[in-house]
Structure 1
Amino acid sequence: MGLIRSTLDQLNDNDIALVGIPFDENSSFMQGPAKAPELIIDSIESDSANFFTENLTDLNEHVRVKWCGNAIPSDYQSIRKPIDQILAQRAIPFSLGGDHSMTYPIMQAMAEKHPDLHIVQFDAHGDLYDELDGNRHSHACPFARIMEYGLAKNLTQIGIRTMSQHQKEQADRFGVNVIEMKDWAADINMKFDGPVYITFDMDVLDPAFAPGVSHHEPGGLSTREAISMIQKLDANIVGCDVVEYNPDRDINGVTGMVAAKIVKELLSQLLSL
């Protein structure tokens, strides 16, 4: 029992290609997320749970869901290569990180396929810094790069609770729809027009629910609240990533199981399209 194994060159039209991006070289505080992808898969396949999503989609050997293993990048820009390959085969990329800097090269590939892309970002942090510690590709900067190069038509951020003056100015500059955690409500509109990319940073969750992240930021979403928002998504989802799970800070694999649950519910949404 488990997910179907595949190589990137064996994908079929409309397959969902799970691919690990074990990259954390742009982490600003501590490394560790590069170890996450295979552990998330292990959690999905753990005997402590089953393969059903909450709407009763059975992911066990599902014909459209393929685990393609880790695509180890030779450098930062090469992160986009497996995404290009997945898109060339008319499959849907679902990347497991890794730090959040990987979303920028992923978007370089996605934007060529979907020029009117809308990004929905679940995150404690805006990741809109122009640079951090002299690094314009820090995991604190990917959405500044994405927006300044026009790789997305719109960006909606959910769960932000680390706003700074600079990031507020950046959000205003790029026209970002920021739903800060202090303003969040359970009934927020989750309907989006056009193609949508979902990027889910594990630290959007309160550290009480997901301690295995590099940056503990109290006051976040519960696991149930995050799942409920995913289940309410009304969108044409064309790609996803789940990032910033740091196993080095996890407790008894709890965050790994939470990440697996988030992946399963996102897969459920993709399979319902």
Structure 2
Amino acid sequence: MTTALTNPPKHGHKSLLYSEVVSLDDLTAADIAVLGIPYGSAYSMEEVSNDQSNAPTAVRQASDRAVRSLERYDFDIGGPLLMNKDIRMVDCGDVIADPRDLSSSYRNAEAAVRKILSAGALPLIIGGDHGIPIPVLRAFDDQEGPITLVHVDAHLDWRDEVNGVPDGYSSPIRRISEMGHVKDIFQIGIRAQGSARQEEVDIAHAYGANIITAYELHDAGMDAILERIPAGGRYYLTVDADGMDPSVMPAVNGPALGGVTYHQARKLIHGLANKGRVVGMDIVEITPAKDINRLSSIAACRLFVNMIGATIKAGYFDR
């Protein structure tokens, strides 16, 4: 008997950007697979089910504000969403978690991503908090070649533990840095204060993390930052909503002024898709109750639109 790893998407738009709703057992010929991972590794009981767990549904609900219909021309990507190609884009729903076994969310998430990768599909992940990339990146351990992690965030996320929890939302980059299949790390948009202390900054530098503050980004421009990322790599992009400027994604618990603009994020996505191969992407830390006119969820959809369009135009799914 097979135990399900995901629940179908919820009410309203039941999928991201009109994609086909499927189970993880129906990924044949899938090119792009959407997966919601609502639950992280909580630091307290209050965080077990916080409002960020509603973000996968909120982002899906914004689909018709981000893309009015699939056949219309999109000037951000230079054509309709699927570029008039035979692309199978599916939505696998949300990873199931057991309230009596809180670690089940990460185990199920890793297993779900492994299924997506085994099917040869590009995973697009909607969190959930920023602990989510930990199980996602674990699933890449048997893929070919090292991964370059590209991280958009206001915060460093190199804590070893918080409240005895080693895999929560303050620790994803620390945990990912320990994975043998991850090599270079680029952290873009870092600014203000998060959980990092001097010791975490020193550890990140000792690892060789490329820490690019928001101010360096604004002064140098995204083209210059892209030039620093080695070409021909296999890139995983993780976007914390608070890495974006609050004018773009206001629905965050820790808004920090001076963040990454939509234009810069779009340029980063297209640049990565064209200089190597993007192997996955997530957007995390959206807190829907704090959104303004659904702007954050619409922006998340638009970032996914750019990734979908850029990878299709780059020939990722040509047969």
TM-score by length of 2: 0.78
The aligned counterpart of 2:253 is 214
Determine whether 1:180 maps to 2:238.
Answer: no
Moved more, 129-138 or 54-63: 54-63
Please point out which of 166, 172, 176 is paired with 1:142.
172
Structure 2: unaligned runs, 5 residues or longer = 1-16, 99-103
Task: Kindly provide the CA deviation profile for residues 1-47 of structure 1, in whole angstroms up to 9, marking residues without a partner as x.
Answer: 92222222221346110111111443689632110112212212348
The aligned counterpart of 2:5 is none
Q: Structure 1 residues 216 and 47 mapped into 2: Cα distance closer, same or farther (>3 Å)?
A: closer
Partner-residue secondary structure (3-state), 1:101: coil
Determine whether 1:169 maps to 2:202.
Answer: yes
Please point out which of 113, 123, 129 is paired with 2:159.
129
Q: Structure 1 residues 261 and 249 mapped into 2: Cα distance closer, same or farther (>3 Å)?
A: same
The answer (yes or no) to whether the contact 2:159–2:200 under 8 Å persists in 1 is yes
The answer (yes or no) to whether the contact 2:158–2:204 under 8 Å persists in 1 is yes
Q: What is the number of equivalent residue pairs in this alignment?
A: 273
**Structure with max Cα Rg:** 2
The aligned counterpart of 1:19 is 35
The aligned counterpart of 2:281 is 240
Partner-residue secondary structure (3-state), 2:281: strand
Partner-residue secondary structure (3-state), 1:59: coil
TM-score by length of 1: 0.90
Partner-residue secondary structure (3-state), 1:119: strand
Task: Kindly provide the CA deviation profile for residues 157-192 of structure 1, in whole angstroms up to 9, marking residues without a partner as x.
Answer: 111114641221121222111111121121324253
TM-fit CA distance, 1:209: 2.0
Moved more, 209-218 or 51-60: 51-60
The aligned counterpart of 2:14 is none
* Counterpart-to-counterpart distance in 1, 2:66 and 2:297: 14
Q: What is the identity percentage for the equivalent residue pairs of Structure 1 and Structure 2?
A: 29
TM-fit CA distance, 1:212: 0.5
* Counterpart-to-counterpart distance in 2, 1:26 and 1:151: 26
The aligned counterpart of 1:70 is 94
Q: Structure 1 residues 222 and 194 mapped into 2: Cα distance closer, same or farther (>3 Å)?
A: closer
* Counterpart-to-counterpart distance in 2, 1:189 and 1:181: 11
Determine whether 1:94 maps to 2:124.
Answer: yes
The answer (yes or no) to whether the contact 1:206–1:219 under 8 Å persists in 2 is yes
* Counterpart-to-counterpart distance in 1, 2:97 and 2:305: 25
* Counterpart-to-counterpart distance in 1, 2:286 and 2:66: 21
CA root-mean-square deviation: 2.4
Moved more, 246-255 or 24-33: 24-33
TM-fit CA distance, 1:115: 4.4
